[in-house]
Structure 1
């Protein structure tokens, strides 16, 4: 519904009034309209923010637990040659297989691979992050938030932290969450 339809025509109201009458006689408060629009925006944007948060959590978990052996970036080799880069996992595994593997324990033959417990949310965050490494080209089903996060990660993460919690790699660069 158009804002003017909620509170009457903009031509018919003095600009200084905050409370106006619509053509049906019902009153409308501009602050209530602002609240309604804000709530509508948050409801529409919520999933996008949640997706970005999930990717950031997956990245954080990867940095803490996996970087000693695996490359968690879109390029570069893993520190441990036997450990596949995460981008290869993204290309070679189905997301459900990865999530199940994290939940049930990964069956690997390498003695350095730790056996660690993760929650379902953590397993999903790790999977989402790994799957985001497939490449920067937009894939069918990618949300705008995922595509945007991928661009942010590829172009900004060398200097800026991707969330408000992490420390930026370049000390003078503020975290991207503060932009």
Structure 2
């Protein structure tokens, strides 16, 4: 007779999977109180102007903090398997005003157009799309979208997952929560959250 897997068994399996990922220094579940602390801090950060342009909205962190289980992780970013450059776009409501471009040919074409401005090497701002009126400009946001946690793909116990990359301030708080002190640029943090399949 096959043993029925309990919720605790599923949780232990997920935690073991995360801890065994290359580059993991520390990982643990956050309490509801800790999740609220991180969310409050991230909301405060979102009110600041970034890149001299507009406020931000970290959908990845918000999604990760709203799921049933949220694991805070301290990682060696050069070894941990995840996209090292956060996905980001600039939007006003649903219109894309700026975005990361990874295709070299597209990038070269966009650079030829004087109506495009590059915040960095591969992030284009479509100047003609920038809102002209103050009300439109106040809606402009850098969006860090929610992504699936690739570290949990293929686990049968996972119903859905989310991956979040914190702000610099969030990074400091998470390291403090996990009792890891490091100012090395290659030591970062992330949140991996999930809902267990019933």
TM-score by length of 2: 0.23
Name the structure with the higher helix share. 1
Bigger RCO of structures 1 and 2 (CA < 8 A, at least 6 apart): 2
Higher strand residue share: 2
- Structure whose CA Rg is larger: 1
